[in-house]
Structure 1
Amino acid sequence: MDTTKENATLYTYEKEEGLLAYWAFDSIEDGLIKDVSGNGHDGKVLGEPEICPGYIYNGIRFSKPGQGVIVKNTKGLDFTEKDSFTIEACFNWDGVISGASWPCVMQKGLDIAKKAFNYVGFWINSSCRRAALGITGEGGTKTCNLVAQVNNTAGWHKLVAVQDGKAGTLSFFVDGVPQRQGNAINASSVGMPLTMGFCDDSSVFLGAIDEIKIYNYAKPIDFEVTGVDVMEYKSFSYTDPESGESITLPYRLYLPEDYENSDGKKFPLLFFLHGYGECGTDNIQQIRVLGGPNLLLDRVLERGDCIIVAPQCQASPAEYNWVPINKQWGTGSRELTEKPTISLAAATELLKTFLSDERTDKSRVYAAGISMGGYGTWELITRHPEWFAAAVPVCGSGIPSLAGRLTDIAIWAMHGEADTTVPPQGTRDMENAVKAAGGNKIRTSFYPGVGHNSWPQAYSEKDLLDWLFAQKKDNE
């Protein structure tokens, strides 16, 4: 099955120094996953896996045994203990065991049937929920298995192996964090293929992989904090005035460089509500999406001129979600509850503290969210329409009966046409209801063939940021 991504012009692959191979998995062309490094290591697709939302843009999903990718031209991909190399791979494991307890993300050189045991690759030990870098030489007699605990097996994770031939070391990193170090090993396996998603019939990986790169040097691992990780760790305490129940809401905060010495300057504010997959108390997951990048936050932060506030709610009990999803999840439209959940109430009070700050441009306050956070975005702007200039709810559902409150807010709602988790009819209902109430500031984007994970397409819309930051409330 050939799958070509839409908006292909959004992503170009720059030639990196020392890059031997790069499989981006953005499309399947003529039954192949192309090596976009230009070095000819194209992989043959087996068993009709599907292109899916990936770590960066698209990835490839293996849903049953017999699916995978095999690269037979592996010239230049054989390493001895004297060679330096770096291998990067991203995975999102379904958590399902198919065959052995070591699902294979990618590897080169292992073929049990042929008794070939010189190999290097990444596996998952499903019995203990750990990722492993396995490298073996000298016919399997010399082994270095570096195992690391993966915090939260759900979602995307990035694995990196770095061998320094001069130093004689092999290092393993998970999600940018150094894990284990061992000795360099001769894992040369000339003529053996490289496989992705399997290494034999028993080591089948079910899930998605993306962004596999191989370099011919020990890539320096820069642990400088960059991107959304620069956002400050904060918390906000809230007590319900009626019940007396208290909650502490973790949140991440980005303030522009000149915020403290603004000298009268005012800054727009983006208030972001995460999806159910990012629930927790770690104050980390909510600035990503299922462990992968959050393209909206990444793009807004790059501007450097917008306050970003991203709170995090708990997964259970349901009353601690942004909306009571145990009652309303999967509905095309819904009604507003008398009171918000305690987490949304806390988030609302948190936002109020920024609205009361003279450095916040109250004419340019924006709300955004995905999935459960899309529900929360619709509810937040419905309860407080006077606060917001614009909103970007993705794969959520609103309250059509109260759409008349939203006619003065610029809304860009996005949804996958094939979403079976939150039906796209919910977005259509809101579009129709707002327009019926006299609103003309709502726009929608629907993505054919895309399921619930529509945020990569939504947040890759070329004019999204220009549109968002052009929105301004009147009379402010």
Structure 2
Amino acid sequence: MIKQISLLFLLLICLGSKTVFAQQSHQKLITEMGYLLYLPEGYQQDTLKKFPLVLFLHGSGERGNDLEKVKVNGLPKLVEAGKKFPFILVSPQAEEGWESKDLMRLMRSLQKKYRIDEDRLYLTGLSMGGYGSWDMAIKYPGLFAAVVPVCGGGDPSKVWIMRHTPTWVFHGAKDDVVPLRASQEMVDALRPYNPSVKFTVFPEAGHDSWTDTYNTDSLYTWMLSQKRFKYSKVAVDQGILDNYRGIYVNTKGKDTVVISSGPGVLIATVKNRKIEIQPYDQHQFFVQAAEPLDVVFSGKGKKQQFVVNDEEKKVYKMVKKE
């Protein structure tokens, strides 16, 4: 999975810190190479089947280079106690804090090493790991099929990037370490773009809301039912597509994009290169099915424009009707 890139660059090409690793069996946790790896029952026997994967990020108390610490809370603790899951569980250990670029490096290596269903990658973490979950989901929004941050927080101004990522947030109402508002602000900022975001507050829980969270059986049913988001093309009246034809200029960078139309699609031209953008409704278009970047048209006549939803919202206004 490549990190989101700007529409202009995408059109032109089509359109840190040290991480440690270790291993875990399907019955007990086994230390190897710096992360804990749990393999579900049947993994060794069925050599063709691909399995979902859950990436679990621990809290600040489990930092360091002693993997025994990672077994103290959350999903690794449940595995150590004998609980069985139908997914691969990877629980790395951070020496200091979570770095999304290093976690992404880990994910790439895991995808090469294990039989993983790439449409069913899931991310969860508690406290510091909750913050890490929000950060990684924002930086790599097309990677995970669902995200479950527990008593964490992040940057509300960027959370709209997760508009296509199913998200279930958990927090304790009496948390005096990470205040409830840290999750509430993220949920409030995300909901206008992702109305299905789920938010569970445990009224009597303090900072340890993760015990209740990971003992919630419906969480796993919900999570495993999610698949990585992909756009799906729909048919749009040709007259609507023709109406979008014109020359558009970025309101900040002054990049110019020429929009023309073809049968059932729009064609964006940047510096003499062309790429089809396909509709997933009459006003919204995508470039690649699995890349969470879209182009949304609005307005009429001289006020017509489109917005590229990428790492930021980039506005292109029509300067000439084609």
User: Which deviations, in whole Å up to 9, do the C-alpha atoms of 1:28-57 show, x marking residues without a partner?
Assistant: xxxxxxxxxxxxxxxxxxxxxxxxxxxxxx
How much does 1:468 deviate?
1.2
Q: Does 1:268 align with 2:55?
A: no
Q: Answer 1 or 2: which has greater strand percent.
A: 1
**Contact residue 29 and residue 80 of structure 2 kept, 8 A:** no
Match of 2:77 in 1: 294
User: Which deviations, in whole Å up to 9, do the C-alpha atoms of 1:288-335 show, x marking residues without a partner?
Assistant: 229x9734x5699513x3111100112xxxxx312xxxxxxxxxxxxx
Looking at CA atoms only, which structure, 1 or 2, has the larger radius of gyration?
Answer: 1
User: Which deviations, in whole Å up to 9, do the C-alpha atoms of 1:50-104 show, x marking residues without a partner?
Assistant: xxxxxxxxxxxxxxxxxxxxxxxxxxxxxxxxxxxxxxxxxxxxxxxxxxxxxxx
Q: Does 1:231 align with 2:29?
A: yes
Q: Does 1:430 align with 2:172?
A: no
Q: Does 1:307 align with 2:91?
A: no
Match of 1:321 in 2: 97
Q: Does 1:351 align with 2:134?
A: no
Distance 1:378 1:448 in 2: 22
How much does 1:453 deviate?
1.2
Q: In structure 2, the residue corresponding to 1:400 is in which secondary structure?
A: coil
How much does 1:372 deviate?
0.5
Q: In structure 2, the residue corresponding to 1:474 is in which secondary structure?
A: coil
How much does 1:395 deviate?
0.5
Equivalent position amino acid for 2:205 in 1: V
Distance 1:265 1:366 in 2: 18
User: Which deviations, in whole Å up to 9, do the C-alpha atoms of 1:203-255 show, x marking residues without a partner?
Assistant: xxxxxxxxxxxxxxxxxxxxxxx9876233222xxxxxxxxxxxxxx111112
Q: RMSD between aligned alpha carbons?
A: 2.7
Distance 2:25 2:48 in 1: 27
Indicate which of 163, 166, 171 corresponds to 1:415. 171
How much does 1:282 deviate?
1.4
Distance 1:356 1:293 in 2: 23
Distance 2:142 2:159 in 1: 14
Q: Does 1:253 align with 2:37?
A: yes
Match of 1:459 in 2: 214
User: Which deviations, in whole Å up to 9, do the C-alpha atoms of 1:141-178 show, x marking residues without a partner?
Assistant: xxxxxxxxxxxxxxxxxxxxxxxxxxxxxxxxxxxxxx
**Contact residue 277 and residue 289 of structure 1 kept, 8 A:** no
Q: Does 1:392 align with 2:176?
A: no
User: Where in structure 2 are there 5+ consecutive unaligned residues?
Assistant: 1-23, 231-289, 291-322
| TM-score, normalised with respect to structure 1 | 0.41
**Contact residue 166 and residue 196 of structure 2 kept, 8 A:** yes
Indicate which of 116, 128, 141 corresponds to 1:360. 116
Q: In structure 2, the residue corresponding to 1:355 is in which secondary structure?
A: helix
| TM-score, normalised with respect to structure 2 | 0.59
Q: Answer 1 or 2: which has greater helix percent.
A: 2
What does residue range 99-178 of structure 1 map to in structure 2 within 5 Å?
none
Bigger RCO (CA 8 Å, 6+ sep): 2
Match of 2:270 in 1: none
Distance 1:424 1:463 in 2: 22
Residues 371, 364 of structure 1: alpha-carbon distance in 2 compared, 3 angstrom cutoff: same
Q: In structure 1, the residue corresponding to 2:67 is in which secondary structure?
A: coil
Paired residue total: 208
**Contact residue 300 and residue 465 of structure 1 kept, 8 A:** no
Q: Does 1:277 align with 2:53?
A: no
**Contact residue 26 and residue 41 of structure 2 kept, 8 A:** no
